[in-house]
Structure 1
Amino acid sequence: MDFAFLFIDWLGKPLWMWLAFISIVIALLVFDLGILHRDNREIEVRESLALSSMYIGLGLAFGVWVWWQLGPESGMNYLTGFVVEKTLALDNVFVIALIFSFFAVPRKYQHRVLFWGILGVIVLRAIMIGLGTTLVSQFSWVLYIFAAFLVITGIKMLWIGDKEPEIGNNPLINFMRRRFNVTDEHHGQDFFVKKPHPATGKLVWFMTPLFMALVMVEIADVIFAVDSVPAIFAITTDPFIVYTSNIFAILGLRALYFALAAMIHRFKYLKPALAIVLIFIGSKIFIADLLGLEKFPAALSLGVTFAIIASGVIWSLIKTRGSQEAHSNGG
């Protein structure tokens, strides 16, 4: 059998590398849904942390493989993208928690929403990264627009601070309630349910709050992708590194959510740290030009990014230690 097709170049890398990555992702999704969470149930914090550790370990292991296969610069770019995307995912957890709270989604069905949300993310990120790759390859100046956007976004995040998004006034929710049949009560794990229409009495399909929560989770990811996709392109323009670091960081979001949702208040200073990271990543392109460098050193980029995020996490845990004790004692 001729396996020469596996070495065909696709988006700058041999086809076998893309197939290996896709196979790992499919295997993880089947393992997650088909074995670990075949039945709807609540995920405890201990299980959440164990699964999160597994996903983070796999993501880092893939980064080591990238380092070995493609060289130190590609490896460091992957790890930088993975760290940035993982941190953005932590910020996304806060919004998802608000969405689940607004729609009163029972804990045992939250994993179902997150699983289907992740499938949507994989497709949406592929489309957005594909468009980004095409733009950057055709118009190199687009990178400067991405960079300026990141700097502006970071400054805006610092300015807004901890202001919560208003889920209830979201125009998409109001549109769905005006244009479609929507039921206010949950119907188990169903996204849609057939009920008599209150005006005609005929059986028609209704959206459940679980489906509306799924739609809002997908929209939230699109909004976060507007930050994360330019961020990774400011780190590297290699489509393989861009996509794999994004997806590996996002894959563990479902598992991580259940641990972080219970202790999100402990990460008070993570958002300012993330804002500074976006400003730094956006500034790198302009700094490299000013210094006459072809590109900003990957090792320095990884070191600075990790130091900023680690400082934000550590400072948050120190400053909120008293609130955790009060939370544990007072309930």
Structure 2
Amino acid sequence: MESIGTPGLYLAFFAMVAVMLIIDFIGFKHKEDQPVKIRSAAYWSIAWVSVSMLFAGGLWLYLQQTAGVALANQKTMEYFAGYLLEKSLAIDNVFVWLMIFAAFAIPPALQRKVLLYGVLGAIVLRTIFIFIGAWFVQEFSWVLYIFGAFLVYTGFKFLKGHEENPNIEDMALLKWLRKHIRITPQLDGHKFFVRQNGVLWATPLFLVLILVEASDVIFAVDSIPAIFAVTSDPFIVLTANLMAILGLRAMFFLLAGAASKMHYLPYGLGIILLFIGFKMLMLDVFHMPIWISLGFIVIVLAITTWLSIRYNKQQE
């Protein structure tokens, strides 16, 4: 499997991610007990998107100088397509996280801490999943057809619509955790664990963190195969995925109040997944240029966003 990734590029990228996480963590510590304001979330969202765009620009310049304009254009478009795809699919995470926080009555100030560690865990887990996925694709090319079939199935599920208000208490993982872990009945500030009479207990905040991580693993099962349909380059898959995840916490607080208003977005995501799934299934028949995939994703997201805005105005 051909990749532009070199040890130096991977090292530089992970160093950049580490610096960004440190900045985010320091900012969190300074305002640990304060809920995130919409304006602050908007500024952070703009900052994360700007960093992602700057990374794309830096990648293009590097490739233009080392490999030529054609490859630079190709890989940059692959990055943008993957980034948009991951960013749009991540919006579904917002819906699930909102339900989890509501089920456990987690106040906004504590949501910040859960999502900080949740995003950190997602970065680690997705990095592992991506490298495993890249190895499977390289060793067993037929895996792409399984990915394609799965994405078609997932796309149809999106088009059918989500279950209305699923009960978090029915989750098998939650039942297992409550059966095997000592859990306090109430929150204890920012603590994930407390000692009572010398015995270590987990707080409900720890349960929420596990559920947040588990939800991201579930969504990764959709998103990682999808991005492999956009590009088979592990470096592009990794960078687009992680850059989208880095801004996920800010996006959550920005969209928390508006998530329910994105009425047509799930249908748009379903159409995109169907498109990508069929694209993977037709790899041996037709090679689709990356600009078509990128354009299709942009157009579908734009149309579904416009339809959602129009729908909300009609409901007012």
The verdict on a shared fold, with TM-score over 0.5 as the criterion, is yes
Amino acid at match of 1:146: F
2:47 is the counterpart of 1:54:
yes
2:231 to 236, 247, 269: 236
1:304 to 292, 296, 303: 296
Residues of 2 paired with 1:217 and 1:63: CA distance? 29
Question: How far is 1:112 from its partner?
Answer: 0.5
CA contact (8 A) 1:88 1:228 kept: yes
Matches within 5 A, 1:222-233: 222-233=217-228
CA contact (8 A) 1:161 1:272 kept: no
Q: Which residue matches 1:17?
A: 9
3-state SS, counterpart of residue 168 of structure 1: helix
Kindly tell me the number of residue pairs found equivalent between the two proteins: 306
CA contact (8 A) 2:147 2:280 kept: no
3-state SS, counterpart of residue 113 of structure 2: helix
Residues of 2 paired with 1:136 and 1:262: CA distance? 39
Question: How far is 1:34 from its partner?
Answer: 1.0
Matches within 5 A, 1:276-291: 276-290=271-285
2:111 is the counterpart of 1:116:
no
3-state SS, counterpart of residue 194 of structure 1: strand
Amino acid at match of 1:63: A
Q: Which runs of 5+ in 1 are unaligned?
A: 1-9, 197-202, 326-331
Q: Which residue matches 1:68?
A: 61
CA contact (8 A) 2:149 2:281 kept: no
Q: Which residue matches 2:267?
A: 272
Amino acid at match of 1:76: M
CA contact (8 A) 2:161 2:266 kept: no
Amino acid at match of 2:48: Y
Residues of 2 paired with 1:288 and 1:177: CA distance? 45
Residues of 2 paired with 1:36 and 1:172: CA distance? 29
Amino acid at match of 1:282: G
Select between 23-32 and 11-20 the one with higher mean Cα deviation.
11-20
Q: Percent identity?
A: 40
Residues of 1 paired with 2:216 and 2:108: CA distance? 20
Amino acid at match of 2:275: F
CA contact (8 A) 1:126 1:243 kept: yes
CA contact (8 A) 2:161 2:267 kept: no
CA contact (8 A) 2:182 2:201 kept: yes
CA contact (8 A) 1:113 1:210 kept: yes
Question: How far is 1:166 from its partner?
Answer: 2.3
CA contact (8 A) 1:150 1:278 kept: yes
Q: Which whole-Å deviations, capped at 9, do the CAs of 1:144-198 have from their partners, x for residues lacking one?
A: 11111101110112123453332111111111111111112110000001124xx
CA contact (8 A) 1:192 1:207 kept: yes
3-state SS, counterpart of residue 169 of structure 2: coil
CA contact (8 A) 1:67 1:76 kept: no
Residues of 2 paired with 1:55 and 1:183: CA distance? 36
Residues of 1 paired with 2:275 and 2:77: CA distance? 16
Residues of 1 paired with 2:109 and 2:27: CA distance? 16
Q: Which residue matches 1:190?
A: 191
3-state SS, counterpart of residue 232 of structure 2: coil
- In structure 2, the CA distance between the partners of 1:11 and 1:285, relative to structure 1 (3 Å rule), is closer
Question: How far is 1:287 from its partner?
Answer: 4.0
- In structure 2, the CA distance between the partners of 1:288 and 1:177, relative to structure 1 (3 Å rule), is closer
Q: Which residue matches 2:167?
A: 166
Amino acid at match of 2:147: F
Q: Which residue matches 2:147?
A: 146
Rg (Cα) greater in structure:
1
Residues of 2 paired with 1:139 and 1:190: CA distance? 45
